[in-house]
A and B are shown apart, each in its own frame.
Chain A
Amino acid sequence: MSGYWARRTGSALLVLGLVLVLNFVLFRMMPGDPVASIIDPNFSPEAKARLSEVYGLDRPLPVQFLRYVRSTLTFDFGISFLTGRPVVEELKSRLPNTVMLLGTSLVLSSLIGTWLGMKAALKRGSLLEKCVLWSGALSFSFPSFFVQLVLLMAFAAALPLFPLRGTLSVPPPAGGLPLLLDYLWHMALPVFSLVLLGFGGWALYVRNLMVKILGEDFILLARARGLPERNIILGHAFRTLLPPLLTIFLLSLPGIVSGAVITETVFSLHGVGRFLLEAVTGHDYPAAGASFFLLALLTVSCNLLSDLLYGLTDPRVRMERGGGR
């Protein structure tokens, strides 16, 4: 078991290292002179050189890279070119919102999707199964921002039930409970839209896996042994379903994190994704690099977590190499 964990952690660290390299290469190669965007072009060359020095842009690339790695690993992302504030401060205020948005919608859509998918697999040919199949196909073909724009237009613009933009009202209400309610009111539509977009894919996967599992010999055997149906479904079929489900979860994570950029842009949420978009379009290297790194870190750590859970759910992994009893 410890061997499996060590290998998984090692490969996660490798991915993170490669992300660092990629990140550096990507954001150093961005077009547009960052010095030009913060300094008046009429400044004297000496002043420009001095500012380059302050931001470390005059050093050779390898030195810049080492400095970059050191500062990234200590979460010191430098000063944003655009806002002039430390990037880490900007990110600190945004990360909770992104994690809230993605976490809540992920939990809700996976729960609903798994439940519907299992129901559909148990009732082949029913209306419910048809609906699950269709919702799966639709969730793969409808662009997320389109669905979100339609929701926004219907439930925020035409029927003013929800706010059009933002994470909190301006100015935010005073006091703990009103503040929390205001926050939930602002997050309701984004989370709902992500659940609406996400549950179909889950349901389709679970249904397909479950149909396959229910056709396996060990289910037949369990039925022949006269076990109660509930026991067969939850104890045998669902247990077998878990490992592949985790794999799918793992593979869908990067896409979900990417979705944060779009969702936060549509709903103008105060999150890391929208910060990244603003940084990329504004040639704000430190901010863009930091938010990309943070999103990658989020993905890799969720990846690692589900890898470790995989080890817990699949006995074959547990037995592998030096683990087990």
Chain B
Amino acid sequence: MKGLLKRWSFWCLLVLAALALFGTRLFDALPEAEVAAPFSKPLWLDRSLPPTMDLELSGGHPAAELDWVFGAPSRFSLRVETALPAPSRFVEWTIPGGKTFRLTPLNRGVELDGRDIAFKRSLGLPPFGDASSALFPERGTYRIGLSGEGEWEGSVKIRLEGGRWGLLGTDQRGRDIAALFVAGIRVSLLVGIFATLLATFLGTSLGLAAGYRGGWTDAVIMRAVDLLLSIPLLPILMALAALWGKGLWQLILILSVFSWMGTARTVRALTLTLRDAQYIEDLRGLGAPAGYILRRHLLPETLPVLLATMTLGVPGAILSEAGLSFLGLSDPRVISWGRMLHEAQSFGAFTAGAWWMLLPPGLGIALLCLVFLDLGKYLEERVDPRLRGGNVL
């Protein structure tokens, strides 16, 4: 156990599992929510770009100042929410030169967008382009405030959409990549672990049966192993994913049905060496039924090896799931790393140069696979100390 605590992969897996369980709470919005402009860069990437920000004014907080050191935001929008309108009061926007724009009276249900022609004309701007370039002509201190006096209850919400958002930017629909990334951990872990568990169960049962029964059972099972090992699996998986529907649990089932072969071979080989051991012979002589011998004696013998092969099998399942999702054969409503890469390729991440859409999911898959490879190596070394040393990770 002590060795396990020293492994980086163990701690990494803990962090990832915690993120998968509680990670979505780190974000204000759901991962599906469109929070900023499409293809926004990460906040730390290009500091000359304006970030996406929200300003709010209310009766008790009637003015705000803004030190602006960027170019104009890509979009300016404003919303007034009030139960008690005040048509004689206005939202005013003062730019560094001292010029003041009167944006809108405080009426009920006002929604303005920098692209509205009516809005631009009311400001005395030409009807082309976005009003934000006129509202943000230079760097300096901007002031927004409510003019006049009088009773008013409500809020004015202003949103400045810039080219930057969050830790990892946004995708083609303006969703937060960091939130999507965290949501994707869940699918990869779920599919990786459950598909491998099921495959191990299948492989162990078939391997035990083949090794212990021998004869026809053995021949049929081993032929099936040979067949499945000698045909390309991805096409079959593609056909089945299209056939059975694209749900997560169907995918887990499909993956496990086609990845039990390695385990079956290992278990069969182990069972063959154990089958003729003296104590098993003795048990048979005492009249122990085959089921009892398999369950109580052969299965426990194979367990340590199984644990290692199981852990080493997880990356395969994770990569298969990601591959199918990348090919577009997964449920489009389920966020997964493979799906993110699929969308990056299909929806113009290349023309937008949005590399931040590619790297997080791809590196996430690779990291998760490395974690399980390392844990598997550790378990293998515990089972067979001769393997110790000579391996990286």
Residues of A within 8 A of B (CB): 11, 14-15, 18-19, 22, 26-27, 29-31, 130, 133-134, 136-138, 140-147, 149-150, 152-153, 157-158, 164, 211, 250-251, 253-255, 257-259, 261-262, 265-266, 276-277, 280-281, 283, 288, 291-292, 295-296, 299-300, 303
Known interface pairs A141-B369, A158-B353. Does A258 touch B344 (Cβ–Cβ under 8 Å)?
no
- Cβ–Cβ contact B390 & A211, under 8 A: yes
Residues of B within 8 A of A (CB): 223, 226-227, 229-236, 238-240, 242-243, 245, 315, 319, 322-323, 326-329, 338, 341, 344-345, 349-351, 353, 355, 358-359, 361-362, 365-367, 369-370, 373, 390-393
How far, in Å, is A304 (CB) from chain B's closest CB?
Answer: 10
- Cβ–Cβ contact A276 & B243, under 8 A: no
How far, in Å, is B343 (CB) from chain A's closest CB?
Answer: 12
Of B328, B341, B365, B390, the contact of A281 (CB 8 Å cutoff): B328
A residues in contact with B227, CB < 8 Å: 15, 18
Known interface pairs A254-B230, A277-B238. Does A31 touch B243 (Cβ–Cβ under 8 Å)?
yes
- Cβ–Cβ contact A141 & B231, under 8 A: no
Give A220 to B358 CA distance when docked, in angstroms.
51
- Cβ–Cβ contact A153 & B243, under 8 A: no
- Can you name the residue of chain B whose Cβ is closest to the Cβ of A211? B390
Known interface pairs A15-B230, A15-B231. Does A140 touch B373 (Cβ–Cβ under 8 Å)?
yes
- Cβ–Cβ contact B243 & A143, under 8 A: no
- Cβ–Cβ contact A138 & B366, under 8 A: yes
Of B231, B328, B355, the contact of A19 (CB 8 Å cutoff): B231
Known interface pairs A141-B315, A149-B344, A281-B329. Does A292 touch B239 (Cβ–Cβ under 8 Å)?
yes
How far, in Å, is A299 (CB) from chain B's closest CB?
Answer: 6
23 contacts between A and B (CB under 8 A): A14-B223, A15-B230, A26-B243, A134-B392, A137-B370, A137-B373, A138-B370, A140-B315, A141-B373, A142-B366, A146-B362, A146-B365, A153-B358, A164-B350, A211-B390, A254-B230, A254-B233, A258-B233, A261-B327, A277-B238, A281-B242, A295-B235, A303-B230
How far, in Å, is A302 (CB) from chain B's closest CB?
Answer: 10
- Cβ–Cβ contact A15 & B328, under 8 A: no
Known interface pairs A27-B239, A146-B366, A288-B239. Does A152 touch B230 (Cβ–Cβ under 8 Å)?
no
Give A140 to B236 CA distance when docked, in angstroms.
21
> By CB atoms of chain A within 10 A, which of B232, B243, B359 has the most?
B232
Known interface pairs A143-B366, A261-B238, A262-B327. Does A137 touch B229 (Cβ–Cβ under 8 Å)?
no
- Cβ–Cβ contact A137 & B392, under 8 A: yes
B residues in contact with A296, CB < 8 Å: 231-232, 235
- Cβ–Cβ contact A145 & B341, under 8 A: yes
Of A15, A136, A142, A266, the contact of B345 (CB 8 Å cutoff): A266
How far, in Å, is B336 (CB) from chain A's closest CB?
Answer: 12
Of B223, B240, B323, B390, the contact of A262 (CB 8 Å cutoff): B323
How far, in Å, is A217 (CB) from chain B's closest CB?
Answer: 18
B residues in contact with A291, CB < 8 Å: 235
B residues in contact with A257, CB < 8 Å: 232
A residues in contact with B234, CB < 8 Å: 258-259, 261-262
Give A140 to B391 CA distance when docked, in angstroms.
14
A residues in contact with B232, CB < 8 Å: 254-255, 257-258, 295-296, 299
Give A303 to B232 CA distance when docked, in angstroms.
12
Q: A22-B231, A143-B322 are in contact. List 11 more A-B contacts (CB 8 A).
A: A15-B226, A19-B231, A30-B242, A31-B245, A133-B392, A141-B370, A149-B358, A211-B390, A253-B230, A261-B235, A276-B235
Give A283 to B358 CA distance when docked, in angstroms.
30
How far, in Å, is A181 (CB) from chain B's closest CB?
Answer: 24
- Cβ–Cβ contact B345 & A149, under 8 A: yes
- Cβ–Cβ contact B350 & A30, under 8 A: no
A residues in contact with B231, CB < 8 Å: 15, 19, 22, 254, 296, 299-300
A residues in contact with B226, CB < 8 Å: 11, 15
B residues in contact with A292, CB < 8 Å: 235-236, 239
A residues in contact with B349, CB < 8 Å: 153
A residues in contact with B361, CB < 8 Å: 146
- Cβ–Cβ contact A157 & B370, under 8 A: no
- Can you name the residue of chain A whose Cβ is closest to the Cβ of B362? A146
Known interface pairs A140-B315, A153-B358. Does A26 touch B236 (Cβ–Cβ under 8 Å)?
yes
B residues in contact with A19, CB < 8 Å: 231
B residues in contact with A158, CB < 8 Å: 353
B residues in contact with A18, CB < 8 Å: 227
A residues in contact with B345, CB < 8 Å: 149, 266
- Cβ–Cβ contact A265 & B366, under 8 A: no
How far, in Å, is A316 (CB) from chain B's closest CB?
Answer: 20
- Can you name the residue of chain B whose Cβ is closest to the Cβ of A293? B235
- Can you name the residue of chain A whose Cβ is closest to the Cβ of B371? A141
B residues in contact with A130, CB < 8 Å: 392
Known interface pairs A164-B350, A254-B233, A266-B345. Does A277 touch B327 (Cβ–Cβ under 8 Å)?
yes
B residues in contact with A142, CB < 8 Å: 362, 365-366, 369
- Cβ–Cβ contact A153 & B235, under 8 A: no
- Cβ–Cβ contact B229 & A251, under 8 A: yes
- Can you name the residue of chain B whose Cβ is closest to the Cβ of A292? B235
A residues in contact with B392, CB < 8 Å: 130, 133-134, 136-137
Of B229, B328, B351, B393, the contact of A254 (CB 8 Å cutoff): B229
How far, in Å, is B391 (CB) from chain A's closest CB?
Answer: 7
